[in-house]
């Protein structure tokens, strides 16, 4: 389940958090396919609760399933199908955020206190009642006999049983050991597979038993052969937050797909913030520090939709500007794992929902709008980190580097440079003074445009041009706190 199922020339996943299906379809066609993005992680597509909280609808309603009808804040089933078709047609795969651990919060009930559901299914999450007729689930579908309370903070250190059997922040905890529950969940996944998705991000896998996840995964069909070829299994990445010291570990999930490696973003963010030396990242990979497993085990990212909302995030986010740009660029340049780029909307408050048209419209999500330079117009409320000039160029850099190991690694204090064998070269200077040196780029002779502060445009460089000699060497100056990145994707006169 660890194969990404992307085209080999497209190596980066983007999380289009809270985007509508119609907007994602356009994004695949108009942008993603041209910038090396191989897959898009979408917000949960199943029916979920609706609420009005302080005249807004929080983003997290998407994580409270009411049924597996494909009707959500992002759109209808028909719109979802159209988006999957159009993205696949241009070689961009769809990865679904699948919420299998739980249903709604205890006490949530259709019609109570302005709580509704996106496809109008009835449900009653009253403690002990717990009915979801549209699935159907009833009280025995849940884990109450094993644990009838919330997970406590201390459980995370002490009890894998409690982490997996009790309720995560009050969310009614499904019993994946129950055969009928397994059948419902596998049915949901299979419906999406029939529609043409490439795989799943499993929400809260930490809170489900690997021994239950495996049989559910094994009940899934192969992917559509007309899109993916014969006998291809779905991609799976398990959301397991494990930075060490907990009862549930990411190691528990290694043979059922990849896991979300929160240790990667932490390490790169520390360097970007100046708390660690960039030089130390020359060892970032399997065994670098706790939780950094083999290449095929990890999904790497700088920030995600949860930790970007922390009070004082331990990772850098779009709010850190240049530090963030550098962190994401390093992730995409460095040869480790399957990288995921976060694409956000602007927020001040943790709960704030995506840009929307207000209560009168049922808080209908607004579409992004675009500037002439292809970035998103901030007035539309969308950050679109994936469209930032540096990040989109580095996604192209990643694509041409695929399968090439890091080579010719050069380190100095707070500086790191490396090639991706005959495909690309990257140099990061974390000191304040210039760094000038002759580097072995491993690239074929020619002229290459810097992709960090510019691009190849109409066969010319919009910023720095690097000349590589017949010996693969180039003299390059990297200014203080800057990067130079060149690749086969930025070669003047083509490859």
Residue with tokens 């905890």: 173
CA atoms within a 13 Å half-sphere pointing along the CA-CB vector of 391: 29
What is d(CA 449, CA 421) in angstroms, rounded to the nearest whole number? 18
Coil, helix or strand at residue 255: helix
Residue 63 vs 338, nearer CB to ligand AAO: 63
Residue numbers at the binding site for ligand AAO (CB under 6 A)? 60, 63-64, 99, 105, 156, 168-171, 203-204, 206, 239, 241, 243, 246, 306-307, 310, 314
Q: How far is the CB of 14 from ligand AAO (least distance, A)?
A: 16
Strand partners, 410: 417
> What is the Cα–Cα distance from 381 to 358, expressed in whole angstroms?
13
> Do residues 196 and 84 touch, judged by C-beta distance below 8 A?
yes
Q: How far is the CB of 306 from ligand AAO (least distance, A)?
A: 5
Instruction: Work out how close the CB of 168 gets to ligand AAO at its nearest, in angstroms, rounded to a whole number.
Output: 6
The sign of the torsion formed by the CA atoms of 47, 53, 56, 60 equals negative
Strand partners, 345: 382
Burial of 422 (0-12, 13-18, 19+ CB in 10 A): middle
**Cβ of residue 380: shortest distance to ligand AAO, in angstroms?**
23
Phi (first) and psi of residue 488, to 5 degrees: -60, -20
Q: Which residue is catalytic, options 23, 203, 212, 450?
A: 203
Residues of 83-107 as b/e, b for ≥16 C-beta within 10 angstroms? bbebbbeebbbbbbbbbbbbbbbbe
- Helices in 274-413 by DSSP H: which ranges? 322-333, 389-400
Q: Which of 79, 144, 239, 450 is catalytic?
A: 239
State the Cα–Cα distance between residues 207 and 99, nearest whole angstrom: 11
The Cα–Cα gap between 411 and 413 comes to 7
Least distance to ligand AAO, CB of residue 172, Å? 9
DSSP 3-state percent helix, strand, coil across the chain (nearest 5):
30, 25, 45
β-pair type (456-457, 460-461): antiparallel
Nearest to 414 by CA among 323, 286, 316, 281: 281
* Least distance from ligand AAO to the Cβ atom of residue 270, Å: 12
CB of 234 to ligand AAO, least distance (A): 20
252 carries an active-site annotation? no
Neighbours of 377 (CB within 10 A): 12
204 touches 214 (CB < 8 A): no
By C-beta, is 242 or 450 nearer to ligand AAO?
Answer: 242
**How near is the Cβ of 28 to ligand AAO at its closest, in Å?**
24
Cβ nearer to ligand AAO, comparing 99 with 342: 99
**Whether 421 is catalytic:** no
Task: Please report how close the Cβ of residue 60 comes to ligand AAO at its closest, in angstroms.
Answer: 3
Q: Which residue is nearest to ligand AAO (CB)?
A: 105
Radius of gyration for the chain, computed over Cα atoms and rounded to the nearest angstrom:
23
What angle (nearest 5°) sits at the alpha carbon of residue 75, between those of residues 8 and 301? 40
3-state secondary structure of 172: strand
Burial of 319 (0-12, 13-18, 19+ CB in 10 A): middle
Give 198-227 as a DSSP string.
-EEEETTGGGS-HHHHHHHHHTSPPPPHHH
Complex with ligand AAO: residue 150 or 421, whichever CB lies closer: 150
The DSSP secondary-structure symbol of 297 reads G
Q: In terms of CB distance, is 314 or 346 closer to ligand AAO? A: 314
Nearer to ligand AAO, 121 or 414 (CB): 121
Of residues 271 and 406, the one with the C-beta less far from ligand AAO:
271
Nearer to ligand AAO, 28 or 168 (CB): 168
Q: 3-state class of 260 per DSSP?
A: strand
Residue 212 or 450: which CB sits closer to ligand AAO?
A: 212
Q: Would you name the residues annotated as active-site residues?
A: 203, 239
């Amino acid at each position: 389940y660890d194969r990404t199922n992307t085209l080999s020339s497209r190596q980066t996943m983007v999380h289009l958090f809270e985007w509508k299906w119609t907007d994602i379809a356009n994004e695949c066609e108009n942008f993603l396919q041209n910038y090396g993005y191989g897959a898009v992680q979408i917000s949960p597509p199943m029916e979920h609760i609706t609420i009005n909280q302080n005249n807004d609808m929080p983003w997290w309603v998407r994580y409270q399933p009411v049924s597996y009808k494909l009707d959500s804040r992002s759109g209808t089933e028909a719109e979802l199908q159209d988006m999957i078709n159009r993205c696949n047609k241009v070689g961009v795969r769809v990865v679904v955020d699948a919420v299998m651990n739980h249903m709604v919060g205890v006490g949530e009930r259709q019609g109570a206190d302005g709580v509704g559901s996106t496809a109008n299914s009835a449900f009653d999450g009253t403690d002990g009642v717990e009915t979801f007729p549209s699935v159907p689930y009833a009280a025995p579908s849940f884990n109450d006999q094993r644990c009838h309370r919330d997970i406590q903070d201390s459980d995370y250190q002490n009890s894998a049983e409690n982490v997996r059997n009790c309720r995560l922040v009050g969310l009614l905890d499904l019993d994946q050991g129950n055969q009928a529950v397994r059948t419902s969940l596998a049915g949901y996944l299979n419906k999406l597979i029939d529609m043409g998705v490439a795989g799943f991000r499993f929400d809260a896998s930490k809170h489900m038993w690997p021994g239950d996840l495996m049989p559910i995964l094994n009940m899934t069909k192969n992917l559509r052969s007309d899109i993916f070829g014969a006998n291809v299994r779905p991609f799976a990445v398990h959301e397991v937050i494990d930075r060490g010291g907990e009862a549930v570990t990411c190691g528990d999930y290694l043979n059922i797909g990849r896991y979300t490696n929160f240790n990667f973003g932490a390490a790169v963010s520390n360097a970007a913030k100046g708390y660690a030396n960039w030089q130390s990242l020359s060892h970032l990979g399997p065994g670098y520090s706790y939780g950094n497993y083999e290449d095929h085990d990890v999904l790497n990212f700088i920030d995600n939709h949860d930790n970007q909302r922390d009070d004082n995030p331990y990772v850098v986010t779009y709010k850190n500007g240049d530090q963030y740009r550098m962190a994401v660029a390093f992730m995409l340049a460095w040869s480790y794992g399957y990288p995921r780029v976060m694409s956000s909307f602007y927020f001040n408050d943790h709960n704030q929902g995506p840009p929307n048209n207000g209560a009168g419209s049922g808080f209908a999500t607004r579409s992004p709008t675009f500037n002439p330079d292809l970035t998103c117009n901030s007035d539309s409320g969308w950050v679109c980190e994936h469209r930032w000039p540096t990040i989109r160029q580095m996604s192209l850099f990643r694509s041409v580097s695929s399968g090439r190991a890091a080579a010719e690694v050069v380190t100095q204090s707070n500086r790191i440079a490396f090639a991706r064998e005959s495909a690309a070269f990257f140099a990061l200077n974390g000191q304040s003074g210039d760094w000038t040196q002759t580097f072995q780029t491993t690239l074929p002779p020619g002229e290459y445009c810097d992709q960090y502060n510019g691009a190849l445009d109409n066969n010319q460089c919009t910023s720095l041009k690097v000349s590589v000699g017949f010996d693969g060497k180039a003299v390059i100056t990297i200014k203080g706190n800057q990067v130079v990145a060149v690749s086969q994707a930025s070669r003047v006169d083509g490859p």
